[in-house]
Amino acid sequence: MEIELVQGDITTRDVDAVVNAANSSLLGGGGVDGAIHRAAGRELLEACRALRQGEYRDGLPVGEAVATGAFNLPAQWVIHTVGPNAAAGQTDPELLRRAFANSLAVAEELGAATVAFPAISAGVYGWDAGDVARTAVQAVRDHRGTGIERVEFVLFSERVLQAFRAALAESGD
């Protein structure tokens, strides 16, 4: 599986699936979550409300992932995942790994060949960008599915991009 690093806006990526660093409510928020909701349009909020009325009445648990359509985005699907919030005491690296791994599993189930990820939990959730980068790269490397051909890490800042470059170099890429 090919891994690419891109500095830019995840909402403009021409991929099969975009991963949303969602909050548990699935109803939008700040950062990547807010940007994806704004760009996808009101239909995304309605799709997320439907999830909240069904299986996710109590919200999406940390580390889990679920998909909706992408509506006005170039992608076909949005995969919502909730990363751990270090600022709220959620510091178990396994929770972070699961957010990436479960998103990949959902992408595989959807038949997505290309997936764009943000730096889940590296923003207001307070995780160190280097820790997020190493966890993300390892989760992609460990993914055993065969359908995903390319993963893009779409990173907003130069600082986070550098952290992902270092993680890729450490992993031998």
In angstroms, the CA 18 to CA 125 distance is: 19
Check 9, 14, 16, 33 and give the catalytic one: 33
The answer to whether 132 and 120 are in contact (CB under 8 A) is yes
Pairing of strands 77-82, 114-117: unpaired
In angstroms, the CA 28 to CA 55 distance is: 18
Active site residue 33: yes
Tokens 């069904």 sit on residue: 54
Catalytic positions, written as ranges? 33
